[in-house]
A = this chain, B = another copy of it.
Amino acid sequence: MFRKIIEVSSRDTDALGHVNNTVLPEWFEVARNPFYKIFNPEMDLNTRMWNIIMVHIEIDYINQTFFGLDVEIRTFVEKIGTTSCTVYQEAWQNNNIVAKARVILVHYDFNNEEKIVIPEHIRAELEKHLE
């Protein structure tokens, strides 16, 4: 499991006084950085080097999130397929779960635009973070 603390910004809130639904995907994205690092140790974000592409996200908004208290994002590997991987994420604030997400990422060759098999050494590393 990876943990990431998010400090809520005024810009994350909306006129309903809570965090806008569009902000959760941003928090989940940055919290996947350590997951990306397993695939890309150099964190070299360009199409000649990078090897992950996102194909699906689903988010359940469980409680409202507010300004003034930090949010903790918890990130787990849920399932490791042949070429893809499912990540499960939760957002917590003030001891309440506020949202959960399930994300499917594909091991991908941007140059040839094709899926690639997840190699054994990456799979072994991912397994350490299984839920």
Contact = CB atoms under 8 A, between A and B. Distances in A.
A43 B67 contact: yes
Nearest to A55: B61
Contacts of A25: 21-22, 25
For this complex, into which size category does the number of interface residues on chain A fall?
35 or more
A59 interface: yes
Contacts of A14: 10-11, 13-15, 45
A120 interface: no
Interface in A35-83: 36, 42-47, 50, 53-61, 67-68
Interface string A10-27: 110111111011110110
